[in-house]
């Protein structure tokens, strides 16, 4: 557990017979960006929900910063320093962008001015300043995803869990988002991201974990993973070919 | 910027002046009583709104809190001669405790189930009061209700011979609850409530202890609602279980807040005053025409407001307010205004 | 009363509660709306039946054929013209409480409309059934309650079969399970909703008529039954038809047996307590599906 920020051991959850996540071991080191990939239904989002406290694991532990955080509630996990986004974005629709982000900013301060300061900084970081007074429900998908990240960032996490923030974006938007995530990572926040857009994941992450049917089937550098015949054969298959072309 | 500020302040001053000089012009006790009731309902709707409007929880059982506040204060006064000025805080304290007791199990219930639970609790409390003659040394009075001991003109005991003091007390209470709502809306808790109203799961992921936030807000709401109950008791001087705790009390708060604009600072005030005034006027002029006419029209107004102006009267006023301030573009100003007066 | 009569009485009254709750549970199951105007609509049915009976003298039980269609139309139109617009406006709202409030306000409108039209008097359709009793196996039961029990059982059973085995029943259920998918399958969801609301209201007409010969009608009579219907529906499971009937009978039994040992009001408190307990421990009810909602 030397410099591991997040470490999960034998993480398992059982939904009435269906084992969504099975004996998962993985690590995210401080400052690192790790990708979690796998086909639909591989258990990626379940793994996120286990780490962030939405589900309680049937078996296994989650350690964060050397502390056992297994079984904490979502808000407690957040306060330990793990921010997360949701696959289906959850903006607070009738609040403005600034207010949305300030909600996150309030976690570490009760002062409005301080929260606003944090929010402004984060909004700049994700390049949403142009929309600062728009209602969240009026944003485009790409901006909603940025907002989702901004809200999580405003809670000043050490680790950011990103659940498919690139899905549904067009190539230009993906390029911008990749740049944004990289800069977040560079600013010292470790990242664990679930993604379907493989090329982008590889551009961001130095380490990739592959899940299938709830089990880890491979991990390593992007090169190692993509050249792993089992990974390609088992489920990346045509998808990966398509991306490479 | 400064012109806007001046206009805002002058508007506030104008309303305060009107509020304070009304009794100079309205001298007939009946009319002053009606206006006082408007203020009381605006106050109660605002108190309900503190939790239910801000956090989007439909409580149809807030009559429980008016009842607890009123009964505790009146029992202390009747049997132990404790001034209602002090007793009201005992009553409010009891309501806060009760709100936490009710909140713990109910806050995990979703929308409709929560509403149903509050209905059941409200109805249950009415039945309990109706069947309690005495509680230890205190007389409760059961279904016949409880008469407030008369002291004549006794300001120290919240009793006055004229209607004027009641009016001013209601006005001050209303001002306090509005200031509190304004503070709450702009505080950390206010942001938390707005967030969890829209998406509790997302709020939780941002480090918000959703249940705690709800409990605290509900406690504030219960506190203010209970004080309103005490005031009602001292104004009417008679507690009838069904009137103080029953569905009429509980639902009225909700309707007034929603028609005015629930979840906004001033909406419930606007709703409370206008809707109650309309209902009183109809009753006064057409009351003899047909029994139930005023409530019939009242119900229709609520129905049509929900259908056509679900954001409440405040949404209409907002437009005129902005025009008055000279704000047209979607700028920073509009936002700050909105948070003050509206959504 | 001997214990058997107490039980039979409880069951018969409970069956009526179940019948009233049937419409509520149907509307909830399909539209996910709690209809706070349900009690007022019951009152309206009772008023309409009473006044029709008074002026025509037709046997109350035969009135079902007349009143039920009228109530269906009232329910259908209410949904179409009042509820649907609000429902549409709240499409993307997480917990559409506006509709709930709308029905509550609608209840006030109906109650006071009937106060204006019919006055605040307590009236009852005293027919030959009112004072008649039926005895079998040593149990004496008022005829009106006996007929009520039979009608409630037949209607609930028939309604259950209707939902399970007819085309319309399947349409209704599919909208309840997933309105979006149902819509994709070519079902006219808004129309189905209106029909559901209409049927739910028409069922009230049946309940109203079973009550008519032995229960006083007045503008707020609905409140008594609505709170009970809520309790019954949560007890049986929101959306469950057999649950409504069984829940109703359970409540009826608690009330009639409880009345032997304590005051009626205390029984009411116990009923509320059971209701809250179920709500906290198993909100899906005793017989409800575990579908999350």
Domain residue ranges in chain C:
22-221
* CA-based nearest residue in chain B for residue A103: B191
- What the block records as the tokens of B66 is 């008016």
- What the block records as the tokens of B153 is 């003109």
- Helix (H) or strand (E) holding A40, with range, is none
Contact criterion met (CB below 8 Å) for C278 and C285: yes
Angle at alpha carbon of residue B53, lines to B50 and B55, rounded to 5°: 85
**pLDDT value for A222:** 87
Select the residue of A73, A83, A92 nearest B195 (Cβ to Cβ).
Answer: A92
Cβ separation B194–A133 shorter than 8 A:
no
The reply to whether B128 touches chain C by the CB within 8 Å rule is yes
Could you give the CA distance from residue B91 to residue C168 in angstroms, rounded to a whole number?
A: 55
A121-138 core/surface letters (b: 16 or more CB in 10 A; e: else): ebbebbbbeebbbbbbee
**pLDDT value for C56:** 87
Write the DSSP symbol of residue A91: -
| β-strand partners of B135 | B138
Cβ separation B58–C97 shorter than 8 A:
yes
Which residues belong to CATH 3.40.50.300 in chain A?
4-81+159-244
Mutation site for B-interface testing, chosen from C97, C282, C288 by largest number of B Cβ within 10 Å:
C97
Cα separation of the two ends of chain C: 43
Cβ separation B187–A74 shorter than 8 A:
no
Cβ separation C104–B105 shorter than 8 A:
no
| Residue of C184, C227, C271 whose CA lies nearest to C38 | C227
User: Which of A85-89, B124-128, C72-76 shows the highest mean pLDDT?
Assistant: C72-76
The reply to whether B115 touches chain C by the CB within 8 Å rule is yes
> Coil, strand, or helix at residue B157?
helix
Cα separation of the two ends of chain A: 40
| Residue of A238, A227, A213 whose CA lies nearest to A38 | A213
3-state percent breakdown (helix, strand, coil) of chain C, nearest 5: 75, 5, 20
Q: Is the pLDDT of residue B241 over 80?
A: yes
Encode pLDDT of C171-217 as tens digits: 888 888 888 888 888 888 889 999 999 999 999 999 999 998 888 88
Could you give the CA distance from residue B295 to residue B282 in angstroms, rounded to a whole number?
A: 9
* CA-based nearest residue in chain C for residue B300: C109
**pLDDT value for C258:** 87
Q: Which residue has the tokens 């029943």?
A: C169
Ranges of beta strands (E only) in chain B are: 134-135, 138-139, 146-147, 238-239
| Residue of A218, A43, A196, A64 whose CA lies nearest to A207 | A218
Taking CB atoms and an 8 Å cutoff, what residues of chain B touch C275? Answer: 120
Could you give the CA distance from residue B16 to residue B36 in angstroms, rounded to a whole number?
A: 15
**pLDDT value for B1:** 54
- What the block records as the tokens of A218 is 């491979």
Q: Is the pLDDT of residue B182 over 90?
A: yes
Domain residue ranges in chain B:
2-341
CATH 3.40.50.300 fits A4-81+159-244, yes or no: yes
Contact criterion met (CB below 8 Å) for C263 and C269: no
A44 or B224, higher pLDDT = B224
Cα separation of the two ends of chain B: 21
Mean pLDDT of chain B: 89
Chain C: give the shortest CA distance to residue B161, in Å: 35
Taking CB atoms and an 8 Å cutoff, what residues of chain B touch C265? Answer: 127, 130-131
The reply to whether B183 touches chain A by the CB within 8 Å rule is no
C237-265 core/surface letters (b: 16 or more CB in 10 A; e: else): bbbbbebbbbbbbbbbbbbbebbeeeeee
Could you give the CA distance from residue B54 to residue A94 in angstroms, rounded to a whole number?
A: 12
What is each CA distance from C49 to A115, B180, C52, C58, in whole angstroms?
63, 51, 5, 10
Q: How confident is the model at residue A2 (pLDDT cuts 50, 70, 90)?
A: low
State the CB neighbour count (10 A cutoff) for residue A148. 26
Q: How confident is the model at residue A236 (pLDDT cuts 50, 70, 90)?
A: low
Taking CB atoms and an 8 Å cutoff, what residues of chain B touch C109? Answer: 296, 299-300, 303
| Residue of B272, B206, B277, B239 whose CA lies nearest to B67 | B239
Cβ separation B203–A103 shorter than 8 A:
yes
- What the block records as the tokens of B85 is 């000025």
Could you give the CA distance from residue C60 to residue C209 in angstroms, rounded to a whole number?
A: 6
> Coil, strand, or helix at residue A18?
strand
> Residue C199 contacts by C-beta under 8 Å, 6 or more apart in sequence?
C23, C26, C72, C75, C172
| Residue of C81, C89, C73, C88 whose CA lies nearest to C106 | C81
Chain B: give the shortest CA distance to residue C138, in Å: 36
Could you give the CA distance from residue B89 to residue B257 in angstroms, rounded to a whole number?
A: 24
CATH 3.40.50 fits B2-341, yes or no: no
| β-strand partners of C222 | none
Question: Interhelix angle for C241-261 vs C264-281, to 10°?
Answer: 140
Mean pLDDT of chain A: 88
> Coil, strand, or helix at residue B27?
coil
Taking CB atoms and an 8 Å cutoff, what residues of chain C touch B116? Answer: 34, 230, 234, 279
Chain A: give the shortest CA distance to residue B246, in Å: 33
Taking CB atoms and an 8 Å cutoff, what residues of chain C touch B60? Answer: 104
Could you give the CA distance from residue C259 to residue C71 in angstroms, rounded to a whole number?
A: 34
Q: Is the pLDDT of residue B335 over 50?
A: no
Q: Which residue has the tokens 């037949």?
A: C154
B120 or C76, higher pLDDT = C76
Select the residue of C94, C107, C115 nearest B291 (Cβ to Cβ).
Answer: C115
C1-19 core/surface letters (b: 16 or more CB in 10 A; e: else): eeeeebbbbbbbbbbbbbb
- Helix (H) or strand (E) holding B327, with range, is none
| Residue of B39, B62, B34, B84 whose CA lies nearest to B237 | B84
Report the pLDDT averaged over residues B26-55: 94
Could you give the CA distance from residue A245 to residue B69 in angstroms, rounded to a whole number?
A: 73
Q: How confident is the model at residue A235 (pLDDT cuts 50, 70, 90)?
A: low
- Reported as half-sphere exposure (CB side, CA atoms, 13 A), residue B232 has a value of 31
Q: Is the pLDDT of residue A1 over 60?
A: no
Q: Which chains does chain B touch, 3 or more C-beta pairs < 8 A?
A: A, C
**pLDDT value for A17:** 80
Cβ separation A152–B331 shorter than 8 A:
no
Write the DSSP symbol of residue B237: -
| DSSP symbols for A93-111 | TTSBHHHHHHHHHGGG---
Query: Which residues of chain C, if any, have pLDDT below 70?
Result: 1, 92-96, 288-293
> Residue B208 contacts by C-beta under 8 Å, 6 or more apart in sequence?
A75, A103, A107, B192, B195, B196
| β-strand partners of B134 | B139
The reply to whether B130 touches chain C by the CB within 8 Å rule is yes
Mutation site for C-interface testing, chosen from B124, B194, B305, B306 by largest number of C Cβ within 10 Å:
B306
């Amino acid at each position: 557990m030397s410099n591991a920020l997040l470490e999960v051991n034998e993480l398992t959850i059982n939904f009435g017979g269906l084992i969504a996540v099975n004996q998962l071991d993985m690590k995210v080191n401080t400052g690192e960006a790790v990708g979690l990939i796998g086909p639909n239904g591989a258990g990626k989002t379940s793994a996120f929900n286990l780490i962030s406290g939405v589900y309680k694991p049937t078996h296994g532990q989650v350690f964060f910063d050397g502390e056992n955080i297994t079984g904490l509630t979502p808000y407690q996990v957040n306060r330990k320093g793990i921010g997360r986004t949701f696959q289906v974005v959850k903006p607070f629709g009738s609040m403005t962008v600034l207010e949305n982000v300030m909600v996150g900013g309030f976690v570490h301060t009760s002062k409005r001015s301080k929260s606003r300061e944090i929010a402004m900084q984060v909004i700049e970081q994700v390049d949403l300043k142009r929309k600062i007074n728009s209602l969240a429900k009026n944003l485009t998908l790409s901006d909603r995803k940025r907002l989702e990240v901004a809200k999580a960032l405003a809670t000043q996490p050490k680790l950011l869990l990103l659940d498919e923030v690139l899905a549904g974006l067009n190539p230009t938007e993906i390029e911008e988002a990749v740049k944004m995530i990289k800069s977040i990572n560079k600013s010292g926040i470790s990242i664990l991201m679930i993604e379907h857009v493989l090329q982008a994941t590889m551009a961001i992450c130095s380490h990739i974990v592959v899940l299938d049917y709830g089990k880890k089937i491979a991990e390593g550098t992007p090169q190692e993973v993509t050249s792993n015949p089992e990974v390609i054969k088992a489920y990346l298959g045509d998808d990966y070919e398509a991306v490479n072309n | 910027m400064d012109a806007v500020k001046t206009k805002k302040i002058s508007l506030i001053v104008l309303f305060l002046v009107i509020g304070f000089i009304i009794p100079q012009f309205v001298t007939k006790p009946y009319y002053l009583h009606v206006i006082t009731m408007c203020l009381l309902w605006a106050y109660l709707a605002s108190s309900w709104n503190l939790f239910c409007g801000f956090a989007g929880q439909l409580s149809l059982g807030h009559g429980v809190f008016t009842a607890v506040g009123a009964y505790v204060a009146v029992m202390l006064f009747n049997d132990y001669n404790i001034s209602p000025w002090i007793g009201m805080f005992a009553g409010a304290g009891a309501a806060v405790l009760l709100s936490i007791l009710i909140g713990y199990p109910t806050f995990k219930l979703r929308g409709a189930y929560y509403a149903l639970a509050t209905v059941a609790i409200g109805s249950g409390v009415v039945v309990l009061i109706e069947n309690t003659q005495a509680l230890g040394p205190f007389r409760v009075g059961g279904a016949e209700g409880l008469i407030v001991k008369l002291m004549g003109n006794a300001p120290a005991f919240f009793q006055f011979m004229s209607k004027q003091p009641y009016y001013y007390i209601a006005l001050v209470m209303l001002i306090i609850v509005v200031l509190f709502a304004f503070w709450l809306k702009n505080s950390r808790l206010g942001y938390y409530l707005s967030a969890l109203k829209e998406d509790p799961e997302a709020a939780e992921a941002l480090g918000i202890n959703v249940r705690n936030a709800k409990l605290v807000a509900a406690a504030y709401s219960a506190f203010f609602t209970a004080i309103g109950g005490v005031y009602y008791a001292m104004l009417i001087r008679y507690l009838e279980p069904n009137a103080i705790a029953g569905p009429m009390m509980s639902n009225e708060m909700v309707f007034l807040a929603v028609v005015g604009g629930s979840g906004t600072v001033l909406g419930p005030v606007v709703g409370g005053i206008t809707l109650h005034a309309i209902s009183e006027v109809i009753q006064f002029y057409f009351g003899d025409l047909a029994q139930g006419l005023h409530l019939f029209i009242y119900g229709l107004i609520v129905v049509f407001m929900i259908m056509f102006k679900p954001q409440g009267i405040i949404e209409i006023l907002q437009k005129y307010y902005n025009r008055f301030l000279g704000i047209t573009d979607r700028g920073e100003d509009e936002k700050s205004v909105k948070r003050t007066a509206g959504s | 009363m001997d214990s058997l009569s107490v039980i039979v009485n409880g069951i018969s009254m409970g069956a009526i509660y179940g019948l009233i709750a049937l419409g509520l549970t149907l509307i909830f199951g399909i539209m996910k709306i709690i209809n706070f105007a349900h009690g007022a609509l019951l009152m309206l049915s009772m008023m309409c039946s009473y006044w029709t009976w008074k002026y025509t003298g037709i046997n109350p039980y035969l009135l079902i054929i007349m009143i039920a269609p009228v109530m269906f139309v009232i329910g259908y139109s209410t949904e179409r013209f009042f509820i649907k617009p609000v429902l549409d406006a709240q499409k993307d709202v997480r917990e559409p409480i506006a509709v709930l409030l709308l029905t509550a306000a609608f209840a006030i409108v109906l109650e006071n409309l009937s106060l204006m039209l019919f006055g605040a008097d307590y009236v009852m359709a005293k027919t030959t059934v009112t004072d008649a009793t039926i005895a079998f196996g040593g149990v004496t039961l008022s005829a009106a309650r006996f007929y009520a029990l039979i009608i409630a059982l037949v209607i609930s059973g028939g309604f259950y079969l209707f939902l399970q085995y007819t085309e319309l029943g399947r349409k209704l259920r599919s909208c309840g399970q997933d309105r979006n998918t149902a819509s994709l399958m070519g079902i006219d969801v808004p129309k189905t909703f209106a029909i559901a609301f209409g049927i739910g209201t028409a069922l009230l007409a049946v309940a109203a008529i079973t009550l008519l010969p032995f229960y006083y009608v007045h503008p707020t009579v609905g409140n008594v039954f609505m709170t009970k219907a809520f309790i019954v529906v949560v007890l049986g499971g929101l959306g469950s038809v057999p649950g409504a009937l069984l829940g109703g009978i359970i409540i009826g039994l608690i009330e009639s047996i409880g009345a032997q040992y304590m005051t009626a009001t205390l029984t009411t408190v116990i009923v509320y307590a059971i209701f809250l307990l179920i709500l906290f421990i198993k909100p899906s009810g005793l017989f409800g599906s575990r579908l999350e909602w």
